[in-house]
Amino acid sequence: MRRTIFLLLALALVAAACGGTDAGTTTQASPPTATTVSATTSSTTSTTSSSTSSTTVTTAPLTGPNISNDSVITIGGLGPVRVGMTPDQATVAAGYVLEVEIGLFEGDPCFYLPADPHVPGVSFMVNNGTVARVDVLTGPVTTRSGAGIGMTEAEIHNLFPGKIEERQHFYIEGGKYLEFVPVDEADANFRVVFETDPDGVVLTYRAGRLPEVRWFEGCA
């Protein structure tokens, strides 16, 4: 199920009442500044958990969309949406509201922010409060070097010679995980992982930080 974490209307009511590598670089500009408010659940508000929790609510203007099918994947994110951003900062960077796709259970620290409707087939994994990786399940979005869904294993190796580590796919017999390993020391904690079918064709891929980028079942 899905729910919106960015309660702009609720915030307005409260205010009224109170007054460097082939696959890309992890170099990040300072994340967009967003005015936030801590909203705690209570008996007077609509909640999804019986326990008290804190939710970050965006009050900065959204000027997007700032990402599209033309945006490129790097080891550090998609366009201006970067690994390490909070969901609030990711929404400001994207320029439109990113809705939460709930994980296995309510309160799960890992969940997804799908990039629909502007970049269908792409989602941002959030774990322990920050964006951990970008998943590309369908669509034309590619890495800065042009790697994407439908490319062959040989083409991936040609794009990143000597930088791909192979592992057997956990579920697909004959399939593989092709892991791009950056050479820059500053990027040592980042990877791009391509999943292939038995014919060596890329089915999906993801980019982001370790260890989350290696999780082959998403948040499961």
How many residues appear in the chain?
Answer: 220
Does the structure show a pLDDT above 70 at 148? Answer: yes
Average pLDDT, the chain: 79
Q: What is the pTM of this model?
A: 0.74
More confident residue, 27 or 71: 71
Residue 147 to residue 18: CA distance in whole angstroms: 51
More confident residue, 61 or 2: 61
**What pLDDT shows up at residue 220?**
77
Report the share of the chain in percent with pLDDT over 90: 65
Does the structure show a pLDDT above 90 at 26? Answer: no
Range of weakest confidence among 1-5, 169-173, 177-181: 1-5
Residue 188: give the domain boundaries.
Answer: 1-220
More confident residue, 123 or 6: 123
Contact between 130 and 82 under an 8 Å Cβ cutoff? The reply is no
**What pLDDT shows up at residue 33?**
38
Count of domains forming the chain: 1
Contact between 132 and 212 under an 8 Å Cβ cutoff? The reply is yes
Contact between 36 and 92 under an 8 Å Cβ cutoff? The reply is no
